[in-house]
Amino acid sequence: MKTMPAVVLTAEREIALEERPRPSLRSDQVIVEVELCGICGSDLHSAQMPQVYHGDCTLGHESTGHIVAVGADVAEWAVGQRVAINPNGNVCGTCKFCRAGQSNFCVQATLETALGLQADGGLAPLMAAFPSHLRAIPRGLASREAAWVEPAATALRAVERAGDLQGRTVLVTGGGPIGQLACRLVNLESPERVLLMEPAVDRAEFASNSHATVIAADEATESDTRVDIVIECSGNETATASALSLLTPGGTLVVVGGGRGSGLDPTTILLKEITVHGSYTYIGEFDRAIDLLATGQLAVADLTSVVTPLSDTLSAFDSLRAGRIMKALIAPSQH
């Protein structure tokens, strides 16, 4: 059996670089050679998230590449086509959520067969995918930008969940990749201003490129600052509590960052009549994110810190955990 290197969440729930069998070609699937795969913030905590990350599984759900083999029953795709991978694309089409246009709640797609979470993903040179996972990459979209489609789609859904942003003051809490993307997407909607709450100096320095003004949590609570909308990207209890205190009565909070402890004070929500929205993965936002990147409306080049071969992935995990870099893209086929 031919093998290949892969970054795996092992059955013992440890992240390791191992030799794994190469994917075999099923008649209803394609094989993709992975050009680039981003490391998501949730990947760093995959060992502690058994409800979504299954053990004995190759990680990587932010991938792009080209098709190298096509199953006999696959009609619409061909060898050589460049694709972005929607890891949650294997929707059943029959559950009540799929029928209602809410496929981000399809259990099969998001909790049973998501690539890089429950099925082998893109932190390996080759990956198997169903046609429903595939999205064509426009000719002018470079691979480095195409590797940002999945996180851009996540951020785009959160921004769209916030409603009309024109003329509003919007606070984004958490200046990691999703937070920076959220700021840039908010800016496209003509807000009055965009604020970013991010304590890490290195990450806060990206604020100007993200069309945002940095505001500290203590500065915010001690001033008269008030915001209409908060997009919470940090998963941090303290940041969420600060954001609630800054929201004007009748304001909106969108939660896209997950973490222990909510910071959601029910009394504050009650007295201010704050509307709270969750934002979970994406639906049509994946395709719209491709368009935003391909047309240059959403710039991401500055957010990529390193592009590194698969052999250096564990070091990239360490750098991300330590906050030394913004984003690592892994090139699994690079030697």
Same domain, 215 and 327: no
The least confident of 98-112, 236-250, 276-290 is 236-250
Last residue of a domain, one of 278, 294, 321: 278
State residue 221's pLDDT score.
Answer: 63
Same domain, 51 and 107: yes
State residue 257's pLDDT score.
Answer: 87
Indicate if the pLDDT at residue 332 is higher than 80.
yes
For the stretch 285-296, pLDDT in tens is 999 999 999 999
Of the pLDDT bands very low, low, confident and very high (cuts 50, 70, 90), residue 262 is: confident
pTM for the model stands at 0.95
Same domain, 169 and 139: no
> Element (H or E) spanning 290, and its range?
helix 285-294
Same domain, 92 and 195: no
Same domain, 186 and 79: no
Indicate if the pLDDT at residue 141 is higher than 70.
yes
Return the DSSP state at 298. S
80 inside domain: yes
State residue 225's pLDDT score.
Answer: 83
Report long-range pairs for 218-227 (Cβ below 8 Å, ≥24 apart): 220/245, 220/246, 221/245, 221/246, 225/195, 226/169, 227/169, 227/170, 227/171, 227/195, 227/251
Domain at 204, CATH number:
3.40.50.720
- Residue 110: domain span: 3-148+304-331
Q: What is the mean pLDDT of residues 230-245?
A: 91
67 inside domain: yes
One-character DSSP codes across 189-237: T--SEEEEE---HHHHTTTTTTT-EE--HHHHHTS---EEEEEE-S--H
Indicate if the pLDDT at residue 218 is higher than 80.
no
The least confident of 8-22, 108-122, 218-232 is 218-232
Of the pLDDT bands very low, low, confident and very high (cuts 50, 70, 90), residue 260 is: confident
286: helix, strand or coil: helix
Q: Pick the residue with more confidence: 263 or 187?
A: 187
Give the separation between CA 183 and CA 212, rounded to whole angstroms: 6
Between the alpha carbon of residue 163 and those of residues 8, 233, 246, 266, 275, the distances in Å are 38, 17, 18, 22, 11
